[in-house]
Amino acid sequence: MPAPGSNGYLYQFYNCRILRDHNLVADDLWVRDGKILNPEKIFFDEKCSADIKIDCEGQIVCPGFIDVQINGAFGVDFSLNTDDVEEGVRKVAKGLLAHGVTSFCPTIVTSPVDVYQKVIPRIKKCNGSADGAGILGLHLEGPFINKEKKGAHEEQFIRAFPSGIQDVLQTYGCLDSAAIVTLAPELDNSELVIKELCARGVHVSLGHSMANLLQGEEAISHGACFITHLFNAMLPFHHRDPHLVGLLASQRIPTDKCIYYGLIADGIHTHPAALRIAHSVHPSGLVLVTDAISAMGLPSGVHHIGSQKIEICGKRAVIAGTNTLCGSIATMNLCVKHLNKEANCGVVNSLESATLHPASMLGITNSKGTLDYNTDADFLILDYNLDVQATYIAGEKVWDVTALKDCMDMEILT
């Protein structure tokens, strides 16, 4: 059987509830040549029926998940495995399919200059396929951050902006593969850097910062649009100065601009009450991120992020010998389920936080993050518990739950 949507074949996915226009609607999904089609044109213009029909058995069909902050997984660290960059990215991209991620931004944490200049040119933007999730561009998280809020980032490699955008270019080497740059807006010359990055098509995120609310508002006015892992590695909310957290309720943000913020809903980084507060204040800006590290998908023990040793203790990943969190080991599908349960925000809002919202932040909703007509046929089939049953990219099934069952059966046999 040909892959759905390939070779001109028309596929009809029926008996499903489709996430579309902020609702779960009983409808059919029509796919051909990797795109989602308008059935009216099929019925009235082409006057044809589907070549192949697929029964979804009443399950949910939603866009593929998008992870805009992931440091690595399955033993691969994008900031550490610099000798075989391409193979590491391929391994992660392939493994993410089982967790519903169809597109992602490999994230490079604060690193030596030679790491950036070795890694950045070798990670290219690409569409997803059976070989793995697509790459939307790099998320460069540092090194232009505040040492006071470095988190797990290594202080010796943190830099400032004494010469503005030239410091950025000299550090990264090039920005061709960059989708997001996280920086601290209180750094000197950050205004000029933010404006220049935005002019080059790079999305600026505020994070690892000691900024007050005014500094955050000014950064937004200069073009920043995202907040990196809200509540983490920033000053906490205070009633006289809510700092970057206050951007969610700021009245100085233009009404036509949405401020997006990443949340790590892994049950460790963000308390359920904080999830509920953020969602209640600004639901349309919530973007789920895993912030996953190389130990995601690996057993407990000592692993690495950058050049530092980290230790997995239950569901926590900490710098070895400390209690400092250094990223999560959660998968995106688990974050979606956790948000739905703990924030009590409903299935639609939970799913859109991993689909529509990250796509909107990146400005790619014309192709990703929705099931609108003429968009890429990257979608998932989920059961009522929001567990991934099948992953499709460009209309092709690239993973289904039988692969997981087969793997479990093999482990039992061995």
Q: Is 326 known to sit in a ligand binding site?
A: yes
Q: How many CA atoms lie within 13 A of 41 on its CB side?
A: 9
Q: What is the 3-state secondary structure (H, E, C) of 295-317?
A: CCCCCCEEEEECCEEEEEECCEE
Q: Is 325 known to sit in a ligand binding site?
A: yes
For residue 173, the Cα-to-chain-centroid distance in whole angstroms is 24
Q: Is 20 known to sit in a ligand binding site?
A: no
Instruction: Please report, in angstroms and rounded to a whole number, the separation of the first and last CA atoms in the chain.
Output: 32
The answer, yes or no, to whether the previous bond of 63 is cis (omega within 30 of 0) is: no
In DSSP terms, 233 is beta-bridged to none
Please give the positions annotated as active site: 291
Name 405's Cβ contacts closer than 8 Å, sequence gap at least 6. Answer: none
C-alpha pair distances (Å), 368 with each of 101, 102, 364:
12, 9, 6
Task: Answer whether 5's CB lies under 8 Å from 396's CB.
Answer: yes
Residue with tokens 């006071």: 148
Q: Is 404 known to sit in a ligand binding site?
A: no
Q: Is 258 known to sit in a ligand binding site?
A: no
| CA-based nearest residue to 75, from 95, 100, 105, 97 | 95
Q: Is 141 known to sit in a ligand binding site?
A: yes
| CA-based nearest residue to 207, from 136, 138, 152 | 152
* Burial of 169 from C-beta contacts in 10 A (0-12 / 13-18 / 19+): middle
Q: Is 192 known to sit in a ligand binding site?
A: no
* Residues present in the chain in total: 414
Q: Is 98 known to sit in a ligand binding site?
A: no
Q: Is 208 known to sit in a ligand binding site?
A: yes
Binding residues for Zn(2+): 141, 208, 229
Binding residues: 141, 152, 208, 229, 232-233, 240, 269, 325-327
Binding residues for substrate: 152, 232-233, 240, 269, 325-327
